[in-house]
Amino acid sequence: GENVEQHPSTLSVQEGDSAVIKCTYSDSASNYFPWYKQELGKRPQLIIDIRSNVGEKKDQRIAVTLNKTAKHFSLHITETQPEDSAVYFCAAEPYGQNFVFGPGTRLSVLP
């Protein structure tokens, strides 16, 4: 079955710097890759997603890149702010509604 790895597990950046989180997946059938943000004590919320027919997608300070050949995708956050501090999860969908999540990255934005 699908296996999603995520690195790093923790990441600390200075406010205003960029943060990059990387994920790899194993199943070439996966064609949808969402990223979720989970603040402390809250539910996960979608922040950006990408489909396999697209290489890059951007939404303001957040971007996601996908390399299907290498089976990896990355989340890029620019100009980080304290409110970006949270746990971020990547996921892959090998087939309809079967989602496999990575273990998460705890991002801390230091003032």
Partner 1 sequence: EAQVTQNPRYLITVTGKKLTVTCSQNMNHEYMSWYRQDPGLGLRQIYYSMNVEVTDKGDVPEGYKVSRKEKRNFPLILESPSPNQTSLYFCASTFGGGAWDEQFFGPGTRLTVL
User: Where do contacts with partner 1 occur on this chain (CB under 8 A)?
Assistant: 1, 6, 9, 32, 34, 36, 43-46, 49, 89, 91, 93, 96-104
CA dist., res. 28 & res. 57, Å (int): 20
Cis check for the bond before 94: say yes or no (omega within 30 of 0): no
Minimum Å gap between C-beta 105 and partner 1 is: 10
Q: Which is nearer to partner 1, 13 or 101 (CB)?
A: 101
Minimum Å gap between C-beta 81 and partner 1 is: 23
Minimum Å gap between C-beta 38 and partner 1 is: 9
Which residues on adjacent β-strands are paired with residue 26? none
Q: Which is nearer to partner 1, 102 or 107 (CB)?
A: 102
Q: Which is nearer to partner 1, 18 or 63 (CB)?
A: 63
Residue whose C-alpha is closest to residue 56's, from 43, 47, 65: 65
Minimum Å gap between C-beta 18 and partner 1 is: 23
Residue 100's Cβ-side half-sphere holds a number of Cα atoms within 13 Å equal to: 18
Residue 14 burial (CB < 10 Å; 0-12/13-18/19+)?
exposed
